[in-house]
Structure 1
Amino acid sequence: MPATLILGGQWGDEGKGKITDTLAAQADMVVRPNGSANAGHTVATEDGIFKFHLVPAGILHPHCICVIGAGVAISPPDLLAELETLRGRVQLQGRFFISDRAHVIMPYHPLLDQYEEARRGSSAVGTTLRGNGPAFTDKVARRGIRIADLVAGDAASLREKLGLALADKNTLFRHLYGAPPIDPEGMLELAQQWGQALAPYVISAETYVQDALNAGKRVLVEAAQGCMLDLDYGTYPYVTSTSPTAAGACQGAGVGPTQVDRVIGVFKAYTTRVGAGPFPSELLDEIGQLIRERGHEYGTTTGRPRRTGWFDAVAARYAARLNGMTEIALTKLDVLDPLEEIRICVGYQLDGKELIAPPARVEDYACVEPIYETMPGWKTDTADATTIEQLPAAAQAYIARLEALIGVPITMIGIGPQRKQILWRTAPMLA
């Protein structure tokens, strides 16, 4: 049976965890393909609030197997702490697995992140300072440490790899950042402790996922972040270090592109982003603050306030085409309930010319002027609606307009944080 991809269509934080949790009720497996612990998903259930950073949201369904794929950078202390918070609340043994090919965020990676952001000063990227970028830099430079290295029990090989990595890092610490060096032997001991703790969960994940697909299992791939943060197609350099696109999700999960037949793009009914970078439809007024407070727009992992703005249909259409989205889940419609009128960014202008897609140069993107279309608000509480037809006419018109602008059908509408607060325009079934 083909896989279903769930990915963010904006700058992350779109509510992918809730959509994954909902669809995982019918899934056999959920795979996390990319990102690291800097991403976070919050899911509200009858048993309370669950906050995920690395563990796939499908873990809340007892029948569902959850896998961290090779494309994820894993911070062992963060993962072990997350597993500890879940113990006693969900069954982990036999249901949660980690790819032996996933790379490890070592303690020197967050230090590099922090020192480099400080060195950049006003040109800082606005990272979460958790070492994501430096870990992926080491991966691409072929000097990374992988989960397989931690669990192999080969101290000599691991000591050699750490020695090579730390030779470069300690030179930077001393001579560029003026910071103290890291002791390789202390790092080796810590890495061995992590390996022992994680070993029961480690498998050849891509083989496991392929076996599930071949057996006709229903597999969800739950991407982290959002495609406008993609390393190639996002607002570079204000992007993440991996590819949170459909293609990147396939790569990180170990799923071939011909094994996917459903790509669900998740969008908020407005737009947010975290950190620096261009944001054409950003609201810096009381409406932006109202959206922030009503939408609880603060990072699950970092607690940072998110920047808020009107829905950007130009970026959304670009994301939908780039990822071959087959349908859209629109979340947090209820956040807009009190507004008299609602604006949609339907175009960009740059130097008097209209653009149909985000420009490649961040300097150009920072200068685009948004073209807005204004629609009436509905000023009605939507949180108790149980069908699309129960939504106010103005809310239905807003959904229809977004659908037309993006060019992809909107099949799910979120009107609150609870599981039951999703309205379906089609049957809630996996392929």
Structure 2
Amino acid sequence: CAAGSEKSFSPAAPAVHSARLPKTCPRAPAAVSAATVAVHADFTEDRVSALSQVSGVLGSQWGDEGKGKLVDVLAPRFDIVARCQGGANAGHTIYNAEGNKFALHLVPSGIIHEGTQCVVGNGVVIHVSGFFGEIDGLESNRVRCDGRILVSDRAHLLFDLHQVVDGLREAELEDSFIGTTKRGIGPCYSSKLDVLFKDAASRFQGFKYSKSMLKEEVERYKRFADRLEPFIADTVHVLNESIQQNKKILVEGGQATMLDIDFGTYPFVTSSSPSAGGICTGLGITPRIIGDLIGVVKAYTSSVGSGPFPTELFGEEGDRLRKAGMEFGTTTGRPRRCGWLDIHSLALKYCCQINGFSSFTKLDVLSGLSEIKVGVSYNQADEQTLQSFPGDLDTLEQVQVHNICYASRYILFLGQLYEVLPGWQSDNSSIRSYSELPQAARRYVERIEELVGVPPYLALSIFLLLFIFIAVVAVIPQSY
């Protein structure tokens, strides 16, 4: 959301007797008010149409929040959809009007809308054969791509060599592997930064890349050149000219803030900046023109790869979320780690301070749970409460308290203070109006809005809520 763009509103919380709660507990959730329901009910097409000239859709967790579907919903209201960072390591799954499924990694999700121009910016690294593979898949399903996709003449090419080195690097790390998609993203960004890539690559045991292999790859890319040439453009000029012409641009972020090379759980991060700052550097546009930033957050949390995950669920609970939400990586097919929503990291560092918070996805996956937990605070081993999300990975990994205490509606477990909210049993996957949601579902949405400090009517969660993940509609009735 665009911070400060409108007058703020949030429901007041009732008084709480502090003696009944531990010092680290936030205020108890407010009841759902009629005024709040009215605000949400009015939040429909008008708010979407009023999005600023340059708006962005960014992930607020570890990725897989439903950004692609959200871009698909918003794209018809924009002239251009642009990718600004990452590469084929990020996958967005969308469906066209005929029900055909597309798993896109490089081509922006706006491509299935005939009137939308797509731009792949200078911050993206391009694996050419993968790029053409996506185009072939689209065109075989009657999605026209010629003349509709522009690739920056400043974007760097990702070679098969980069993918080989990526795999060797993961193998070398063994038990401390990062969990990359092995698509060569890190090595490609390393060579982009001119970090003597050839010397770095030669460090890996088993690395073999002869002159004959190099010649073969060069010849292969020469064959791509003729086909690639019509797509190449000075996208910095194109985008800035489009801004001058008052065209609307939607930026499609890949991955998420928790994977940002500066703000994520380093070293378990990607090699680019999937937060708001990556828009300017990845497209060549001024920060002054960027308006609404839609921070997409899933109603629970998932992650692919290694690294700290304080609210992770294991066993039957984790399997249930994974199955209901079809939590398997679009790029790798690997099962995602699943857990409760983590407000501590989202609110304090990433959503409020960097990207904003305005959209829920996959709320229907939580249907059928008797209660839902929300992580609201971290405690260290010495029982000191962390005031912000730590930049030190060792600190984050040591967040652990072995005792369990109950206080009102809060549970302190393994160093993570949870607020427990009532669940709901009904399937809400076909609901299109906020007022029709179960009261417990509305209470959950509004409590999250309170905790992160976003006024309800700035949140896109209501209008877009049930459009986000079409595939869940089919599986939920059988899941519970």
Whether these two folds match at TM > 0.5 is yes
State which of 180, 184, 193 in structure 1 corresponds to 2:208: 180
Paired residue type of 2:316: E
Task: Name the residue aligned to 1:259.
Answer: 289
Q: How does 1:141-156 map to 2 (within 5 A)?
A: 141=194
Gaps of 5+ in 1: 144-164, 422-431
Aligned to 2:153: 100
Q: Distance in 1 between matches of 2:385 and 2:202?
A: 48
Asked which structure has the greater CA Rg, the reply is: 2
State whether structure 2 residue 162 is matched by structure 1 residue 109: yes
Q: Could you tell me how far 1:419 is from its partner in structure 2?
A: 10
Following superposition, the deviation at residue 417 of structure 1 comes to: 2.0
Pair 1:227 & 2:257 matched: yes
What is residue 225 of structure 2 aligned with on the other side?
195
Matches within 5 A, 1:4-15: 4-15=55-66
- Out of 299, 302, 306, the residue aligned to residue 329 of structure 2 is 299
Partner of 2:86: helix, strand, or coil? coil
User: What secondary structure sits across from 1:14 in the alignment?
Assistant: coil
CA contact (8 A) 1:108 1:169 kept: no
* 1:163-183: CA deviation from partner (whole Å, max 9, x where unpaired): xx65x36744xxx41332232
What's the CA shift for 1:380?
Answer: 0.8
Question: Deviation string for 1:223-263 (max 9, x for gaps)?
Answer: 10000100011000000000000011221122211011101
Using the size of structure 1 for normalisation, the TM-score is 0.88
Deviation at 1:194, TM superposition (A): 2.2
Residues 126-145 of structure 1 mapped to structure 2, 5 A cutoff: 126-141=179-194
- Shift of the 328–170 alpha-carbon distance from structure 1 to 2, 3 Å rule, reads closer
1:400 to 2:446 alignment: yes
Which letter maps to 2:441? A
Whole-angstrom distance in 2 between the partners of 1:41 and 1:365 = 29
**1:142/1:170 Cα in 2 relative to 1: closer, same or farther (>3 Å)?**
closer
Kindly report which structure 2 residues correspond to 1:367-386, keeping only aligned pairs within 5 A, or say none: 367-368=398-399, 369-386=415-432
Cα offset, 1:270, TM superposition: 0.2
When the two structures are aligned, how many residues end up with a matched partner?
395
In the alignment, the residues of structure 1 paired with residue 298 and residue 88 of structure 2 have an alpha-carbon distance, to the nearest angstrom, of: 22
In the alignment, is the contact (CA less than 8 A) between 1:170 and 1:182 conserved in 2? Answer: no
Give 1:99 shift: 0.5
2:455 aligned with 1:411: no
Task: Give the structure 2 partner of residue 38 of structure 1.
Answer: 89
Question: Within 2, Cα distance between the matches of 1:95 and 1:384?
Answer: 33
Residue of structure 2 in register with 1:65 after alignment: 117
Q: Cα–Cα, structure 1 residues 226 and 170, in superposed 2: closer, same or farther, change >3 Å?
A: closer
When structure 1 is superposed on structure 2, of 222-231 and 120-129 the one drifting more is 120-129
Matched, 1:21 2:72: yes
Identity %: 40
When residues 229 and 128 of structure 1 are mapped into structure 2, their CA distance, relative to the original with a 3 A threshold, is: same
1:47 corresponds to which of 92, 98, 111: 98
Using the TM superposition, name which of 109-118 and 43-52 deviates more.
Answer: 43-52
Match of 1:243 in 2: 273
The alignment partner of 2:74 has SS state of: helix
Q: Deviations over 1:269-296 (max 9, x none)?
A: 0001110000000001211111000000
Report the Cα distance in structure 2 between the residues aligned to 1:45 and 1:418, rounded to whole angstroms. 11
1:123 maps to a residue whose letter is: S
The one-letter amino acid of 1:178's match is G
Q: Which residue does the alignment assign to 1:149?
A: none
Deviations 1:353-392 (A, max 9, x none): 1123221111111122211000000111101212000000
Contact 1:22 1:419 in 2 (8 A): no
Amino acid at match of 2:68: G
> What amino acid is aligned across from residue 398 of structure 1 in structure 2?
Y
The alpha carbon displacement at 1:34 in A equals 0.5
For 2:376, give the aligned amino acid: V
Corresponding residue SS for 1:319: helix
The answer to whether the 8 A contact 2:165-2:207 is kept is no
Q: Give the Cα separation in 2 of the matches to 1:170 and 1:72.
A: 21
Other structure's SS at 1:25 match: helix
CA–CA distance in 2 between the matches of 1:95 and 1:178? 42
> Offset at 1:420?
12
Moved more, 386-395 or 192-201: 192-201
* Structure 2 letter corresponding to 1:56: P
Bigger CA drift: 359-368 or 392-401? 359-368
AA in 1 matched with 2:56: L
Give the match's secondary structure for 1:266: strand
Aligned to 1:273: 303
Give the secondary-structure state (helix, strand or coil) at the position aligned to 1:93.
Answer: coil
CA spacing shift, 1:420–1:179, aligned 2, 3 Å: closer
| Corresponding letter in the other structure for 1:406 | V
Cα 1:284/1:232, change in 2 over 3 Å:
same
Counterpart AA for 1:190: R
CA distance in 2, matches of 1:249, 1:94: 23
Structure 1: how far apart are the matches of 2:319 and 2:216? 46
1:37-67: CA deviations, max 9, x gaps? 0100011343222211111011111111000
CA drift of 1:90 comes to: 1.1
Shift of 1:4: 0.2
Distance of 1:194 and 1:378 partners within structure 2 = 53
Q: Which amino acid aligns with 1:135?
A: C
- Using the size of structure 2 for normalisation, the TM-score is 0.79
Tell me if structure 1 keeps the 8 A contact 2:254–2:274.
Answer: yes
Partner residue, 2:408: none
Task: Show the counterpart of 1:428.
Answer: none
8 A contact 1:266–1:330 mirrored in 2: yes
Q: In proportion to residue count, which structure has more strand?
A: 1
Structure 2 CA distance for aligned equivalents of residues 384 and 116 of structure 1: 45
Looking at structure 2, the residues matched to 371 and 46 of structure 1 have their Cα atoms a distance apart, in angstroms, of: 44
Structure 2: distance between partners of 1:118 and 1:380: 45
Whole-angstrom CA distance in 1 between matches of 2:270 and 2:54? 25
Cα separation, 2, equivalents of 1:299 and 1:78: 17
